[in-house]
């Protein structure tokens, strides 16, 4: 039970929601990450940037696009340096222009994934998993990969059984 780690990035504030802009008090991916923990146990680790992203959706989208283009690694508030005690690592984040926010890679690239099982969960508004699996394979060298799960962001709160079944089948 305790050998599961759930790494996640999630941003509250304005977001795209079934074709309109909504203010989210709790990010979709955070809700999903908590469902994983409820289902299989383990530790949650939130990836947080020192520089906050704008709450305004369009300003955030512009900044995220520039960061992806420039392949930046935003500085994080805290880094996890060691995952020796874990066997299964869930990497959870929103789809930002087809992949995880760059901050997720700021964290992943510091870790030794040798022999770990890695599963991606991506919340999104239509792009599904985008190209996150390809990027995850680059960032988590020598890991073994489980099945990834795409969750429609606007439906995350109603997707506990979907997420729980998937998580249980992967550990």
Residues that bind ligand FMN (CB under 6 A): 10-11, 15-16, 24, 27-30, 57, 60-61, 64, 94-98, 123-127, 153
CB of 49 to ligand FMN, least distance (A): 12
Measured CA distances, 145 to 48, 77, 120, 136, 137 (Å): 24, 27, 9, 9, 8
CB of 8 to ligand FMN, least distance (A): 8
3-state helix, strand, coil in the chain (%, to 5): 35, 25, 40
Instruction: Classify 141 as helix, strand or coil.
Output: coil
Q: Which residue is nearest to ligand FMN (CB)?
A: 153
CB of 115 to ligand FMN, least distance (A): 29
Measured CA distances, 81 to 11, 39, 78, 85, 166 (Å): 23, 25, 9, 12, 27
Q: Which is nearer to ligand FMN, 65 or 138 (CB)?
A: 65
Q: Which is nearer to ligand FMN, 42 or 94 (CB)?
A: 94
Q: Which is nearer to ligand FMN, 28 or 159 (CB)?
A: 28
């Amino acid at each position: 039970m305790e050998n599961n780690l759930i790494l996640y990035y999630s941003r509250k504030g304005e977001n795209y929601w079934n074709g309109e802009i909504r203010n989210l008090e709790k990010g979709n991916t955070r809700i999903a990450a908590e469902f994983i923990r409820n289902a299989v146990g383990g530790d949650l680790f939130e990836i947080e940037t020192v520089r906050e992203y704008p709450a305004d959706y369009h300003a955030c989208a512009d900044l995220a696009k520039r960061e992806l283009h420039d392949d930046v690694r935003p500085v994080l508030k805290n880094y996890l340096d060691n995952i020796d005690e874990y066997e299964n690592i869930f990497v959870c984040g929103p789809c930002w222009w087809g992949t995880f926010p760059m901050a997720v890679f700021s964290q992943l690239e510091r870790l030794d994934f040798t022999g770990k099982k890695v599963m991606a969960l991506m919340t999104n508004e239509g792009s599904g998993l985008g190209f996150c699996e390809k990027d995850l394979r680059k960032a988590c060298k020598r890991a073994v990969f489980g099945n990834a799960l795409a969750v429609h962001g606007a439906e995350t709160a109603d997707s506990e059984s979907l997420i729980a079944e998937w998580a249980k089948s992967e550990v």
